[in-house]
Amino acid sequence: MTGGASDNLQAFVASLPLQPQRPCNYLPGKVARERAFLAEHVDAAIYHDLMDLGFRRSGQVFYAMACPDCAACVPIRVPVATFRPSKSQRRVLRRNPDVVLQARKPEATDETHALYRKYLQHQHPDPARDDSREAFTNWLYAGDVVDTLELRYTVGDRLVAVSIVDVCTRSVSAVYHFFDPDEADRSLGVFSVLAEIDWAAQHGIPYYYLGFWIEGCPTMHYKANYAPHELLRHGAWGAPGT
């Protein structure tokens, strides 16, 4: 999928069929539904425009929430130039002076897969989950879907965390992050967001997209801790409460 004016993109989005309803993964008792499409490649600038229409990416699937009775999934982004870390976030930075960030083309390796499995088993245990190398690769390393980078966090020669991010000249979009649970005291999840906002600033990229903020879902509340931030409501970005 390439090129196209904004009105053409909106027409394309409007033409997408609604997917079947399913139980919501985030809010008990709620029903979820999406508009979605599958693509082997989407131009990075077009994906940015799709994010501004409420879309996210999972592997080769691009989707926007279209739930019948709920609008709790709200896209959130941080304007890089105005971001200021909180006191607790500055403490996290001070705890990690030895962590080095390296950006590279995504590559699924035995090392990254082992770290991913270790993270899931500790943070999100689920015997039914497929954490095989194939599933891992298809989800996070599914080829040239958009312009994607693997951000590797190391201490010495040890890999302690990995972030997968989609990148264009206007945005860095967080796809997924996993870390070594043995390093939990470092708060690497917080550190990675701070480091990636700084990385975006160094590269002149104005926005860092955090995905969905979901009121009433405790596991998503942390995203509002990065301030000031903007929420996408009624088709426009604005400060919370506007």
Q: Which domains does the chain have, with CATH numbers?
A: 80-208 (3.40.630.30)
Q: How would you class 92 by CB atoms within 10 Å of its CB: exposed for 0-12, middle for 13-18, buried for 19 or more? A: buried
The pLDDT of residue 3: 45
Average of pLDDT values for 5-23?
A: 90
What is residue 8's three-state secondary structure?
Answer: helix
The pLDDT of residue 7: 85
What is residue 234's three-state secondary structure?
Answer: coil
The pLDDT of residue 129: 87
The pLDDT of residue 1: 59
Average of pLDDT values for 58-87?
A: 96
Residue-wise pLDDT for 207-240, tens only, equals: 999 999 999 999 899 999 999 999 999 889 999 9
Residue-wise pLDDT for 156-205, tens only, equals: 999 999 999 999 999 999 999 999 999 999 999 999 999 999 999 999 99
Residue 126 — pLDDT band, cuts 50, 70, 90?
confident
Residue 109 — pLDDT band, cuts 50, 70, 90?
very high
What value does the mean pLDDT of the chain take? Answer: 94
Comparing 85 with 234, the larger pLDDT belongs to 85
- Spatial distance between the Cα atoms of 229 and 128, rounded to a whole number of angstroms: 36
pTM for the model stands at 0.94
The pLDDT of residue 124: 87
For a pLDDT cut of 70, what percent of the chain falls above it?
98
Average of pLDDT values for 89-104?
A: 98
Residue-wise pLDDT for 190-201, tens only, equals: 999 999 999 999
Q: Is the pLDDT of residue 155 over 70?
A: yes
- Spatial distance between the Cα atoms of 158 and 152, rounded to a whole number of angstroms: 10
Average of pLDDT values for 72-81?
A: 97
Average of pLDDT values for 42-64?
A: 95
Lowest mean pLDDT, pick from 34-48, 95-109, 118-132: 118-132
The pLDDT of residue 74: 97
The pLDDT of residue 4: 47
- Spatial distance between the Cα atoms of 234 and 124, rounded to a whole number of angstroms: 33
Contact assessment for residue 9 and residue 46, using Cβ atoms and an 8 Å cutoff: yes
DSSP3 helix / strand / coil % (the chain, rounded to 5) = 35, 30, 35
Tell me, rounded to whole angstroms, the distance of Cα 144 from its chain centroid: 17
Residue 228: asked if its preceding bond is cis (omega within 30°), the reply is yes
